[in-house]
Amino acid sequence: MATADDLTGIPLFDSLSDDELEQLASWFAVKRVSEGVRLASEGAAGYSFYVVVEGSAVVTAEDETVATYGPGDFFGEIAILGDGRRTATVTTTSPARLLVLFGTEFRGMQQAQPEIAARLEAAMRQRQEELLKLRSSANDSP
């Protein structure tokens, strides 16, 4: 189980009080992985949300690198909030420590922390737009 200290310094959660951080931390599992671990696969079903605490990961969609993630970054919201499918592949590029929130706990977070839910929905829309642009530019290429 995660602690409030694990969430401290994560920009997504910077508006929460100490008590709110404690409550939210209790819903997260901690996962340690080595370099080269695929955490999410494009097109696969997705039921979990991740926050990178330590380490780094690369994000690819249609074999194109679209982002790199490091401490404080998060992913997995698109599948949970959207149609349940992963829109990108995320693979660690170093050993990493992650916080993982499964679907049921994610729904609890949405209800308990509507401001966080709104931030995640905004991030989801932005990421979907970026992927759409990437895919349309790839289709326009010869």
pTM > 0.85: yes or no: yes
In a domain, residue 137? The reply is: no
Distance CA 129, CA 141 (A): 19
Q: What is the pLDDT of residues 12-40, one digit of tens each?
A: 999 899 999 999 999 999 999 999 999 99
* Assigned token pair, 59: 């994000």
Task: For residue 101, give its domain range.
Answer: 4-131
Q: What are the tokens at 54?
A: 């330590």
In a domain, 141, yes or no: no
Of 57, 55, 4, which Cα lies nearest the Cα of 28? 4
- The count of domains in the chain is 1
Give pLDDT tens digits for 78-117: 888 888 899 999 999 999 999 999 988 988 888 988 888 8
In a domain, 81, yes or no: yes
